[in-house]
Amino acid sequence: MSTTVKPETNGPPTRRTRRQARKGATPDNTPEHGRVDGPAFTADGRLRLPATRHLSSEMVMLGGVLLFLIGGTWDVSWHIVAGRETFWSPPHLVLYAGILLIFGTALHGVSSAWQSGRLPTASSLIGIAGSAMSLASAPLDDFWHRVYGLDVTIWSPPHLLLIGGVTLASFSAMVGIAQVVSRAAGGASWHAFSTGWTPATTALFFSGGLFTAVGGASLGEYDFDVARSSVAYHPPLLAALTAFGLVVTARAGRRVGGATLTAATFTILHVLLDWIQLGLSMPRPQVPLVLLAAPVVDMVLILGGTGHRHNLGPVGTVAGAGALYAATLMLVQWPYTTALAGSVWSLSVLTRAAVPTLASGAIGAVAGWIVGSKIGGQPALGGIPDGAKVSLSRWPEFILAAASIGLAGTAIAPAVRNNGAPRPIWGTEANSLVDAPVVGQLTLRPASPVVGEPMTMRVMFTDATVLQTVGRSPAVPYESPRAGDIAEGVMQAAGAPGVYEVTFTPREAGRRWLTIYLPGEFGRMAASSAFTVGSTASGSLAPSSSTRSIVMRPEPGPDENVPGWLEPVTGAGIGLVLAGSLAVTAWVLRRIDVR
């Protein structure tokens, strides 16, 4: 008498369930959202997570990511104009609303699955990890401020934890959408641009553009032209981040022209942010010209595909696409940043950054190809589109090209209007955002400083409270950063009380701030002013000196009463949160089921 053994489904992996998985046994469940269609465990005994079936949760999470991007851009400009702010500032409310929306949606997906006796989807688990990482950055950022004082850079560990968490959350939505696209694609490895479109396909390229934009938010200091680090870091970092975003989306979407489509979404989002900042009368970031370089990726993938005699194989072709993309990006950003007069990709910058930029573009593209293959259910070492077999329909590609040119023109327009003129200087005058009283004057000699030539800054405080604070102090600490050229030290007393000066030689052109740190009620105050350093001397006869106002803005320094254990606890907390989130993501990616 024979007995039929019903395969186990969702318990811990046992010897019997592993044996059943190897034999192809299927669980007794139906193909609903959150259920596994196939073995509950992989052949090597790993739990198999179910694929996403409906995109409602993923679209809500993308809405939260978009809120964060808008609020984060506004927040950077708010810092530039107003300096220090409270947790309840309007930009913070917008960006944290986005994070809470992501976290709540992902948490609902996980809890609903568990209550129904099902496994949560991969996108829900990664969404939890990413949004939790961002939420954890808030208290860690407060601890960081108490230990080290106010941040003057986006690149502080808590800030990068915040941006990285939301980037991970946007990736989680892309994972879920890619699973739906993969099932709809069936056996097709690549689609021509105009064929096989579904709502999920549109959602995927939107998510890819949003993912690339949020990851690029970590470079916001360069976009707003307030970078403390050298501009030579910008080309390789931008090339790596955007190459990864373009290729991972194109690969997961299985679509010829996918990199250009992703870049178009990226550009639309940046133009939207530019319009929002314009409406708020706030500083506006530059729009990286990724869209002009992205078609190179698509062309190399087609021309280097399996049907051509110059085929280099998947890794070689993708690496070549990334390197050529990076080279094109440098060529288009050079005149663009020069005209915009922001963080300029000058010839000297590009000379130093050329090799790292080409390498980072290649590495970013290959990494994007591998990850895109994983979330799209395709082999990592195969699948280059065969240009001889992919049919291209003329009109859709023409429309895409025309739209790309129009979008790029919109992005370039501010640079054309600016035509190399110095960018406006924000945050050095009283305004509606902050009560910034004028406390003195800054005199520059010469009136128009030039790179490589000594200049003198002379400060004269006129505010009675500040004069009482400095008294007859022989020196006051100062800082004047500009893209890796950070002049700092002390300004020496020069004659009357409250008058100080220092001479230094600027090495970087562009606008730079002068900040003088004074003791205050909350640790320290910052007396700030700003000016522009030219790259070459003006041909016309310029005055020997120029004068501008100095305003007072609160910028707390380290808390002198902070307990000694807080510094190692803060560092350990940042490390644990980052490691935990990445570990969860890696665990999930190994168990994705796209069927």
Q: Closest by alpha carbon to 294, among 273, 267, 313? A: 267
**In DSSP terms, which residues pair with 461 in a beta bridge?**
440
Between 472 and 416, the higher pLDDT residue? 472
CB-based burial of residue 526 (10 Å sphere; 0-12 exposed, 13-18 middle, 19+ buried)?
buried
Q: What pLDDT is recorded for position 63?
A: 94
20 falls in which pLDDT band (50, 70, 90)? very low
pLDDT digits (tens, 9 = 90+) for 343-393: 778 888 899 999 999 999 999 999 999 999 888 877 766 666 655 455 555
Rounded to 5 degrees, what are φ and ψ at 518? Answer: -125, 150
In the 8-state DSSP scheme, what is residue 94? Answer: H
Q: What is the 3-state secondary structure (H, E, C) of 292-345?
A: HHHHHHHHHHHHCCCCCCCCCHHHHHHHHHHHHHHHHHHHHHHHHHHHHCCCCC
Q: What pLDDT is recorded for position 112?
A: 86
The alpha carbon of 406 is separated from its chain's Cα centroid by a whole number of angstroms, namely 24
State pTM to two decimals: 0.83
Percent of the chain with pLDDT over 70: 72
Between 460 and 34, the higher pLDDT residue? 460
Task: Count the Cβ atoms, other than its own, within 10 Å of residue 547.
Answer: 12
Rounded CA-CA distance 73/95 in Å is 9
Q: Is 143 helix (H, G, I), strand (E, B) or coil?
A: helix
Mean pLDDT of the chain: 79
C-alpha separations of 319 from 244, 338, 371, 481 in Å: 11, 29, 14, 36
pLDDT digits (tens, 9 = 90+) for 422-444: 555 554 544 444 566 788 888 99
Residue 486 has pLDDT above 50, yes or no: yes
Task: Count the Cβ atoms, other than its own, within 10 Å of residue 3.
Answer: 4
pLDDT digits (tens, 9 = 90+) for 506-545: 988 888 888 887 775 545 567 777 788 887 766 555 677 8
Q: What pLDDT is recorded for position 390?
A: 52
Residue 408 has pLDDT above 60, yes or no: yes
Residue 25 has pLDDT above 70, yes or no: no
Q: Which CATH superfamily is domain 438-554 in?
A: Macroglobulin (MG2) domain (2.60.40.1930)
* Most confident listed range (61-75, 245-259, 421-435): 61-75
Domain boundaries, the chain: 1-48, 56-186+568-595, 191-424, 438-554
| 529 in Cβ contact with 549 (< 8 Å) | yes
Residue 56 has pLDDT above 60, yes or no: yes
Q: What is the 3-state secondary structure (H, E, C) of 2-27?
A: CCCCCCCCCCCCCHHHHHHHHCCCCC
243 falls in which pLDDT band (50, 70, 90)? very high
pLDDT digits (tens, 9 = 90+) for 136-149: 888 888 777 777 76
557 falls in which pLDDT band (50, 70, 90)? low
CB-based burial of residue 348 (10 Å sphere; 0-12 exposed, 13-18 middle, 19+ buried)?
exposed
Residue 69 has pLDDT above 90, yes or no: yes
Handedness of CA 96, 101, 102, 104 (dihedral sign): positive
Please report where in the chains the tokens 């050529």 appear, as a residue.
Answer: 324
Q: What pLDDT is recorded for position 9?
A: 45
Mean of pLDDT values over 325-341: 88
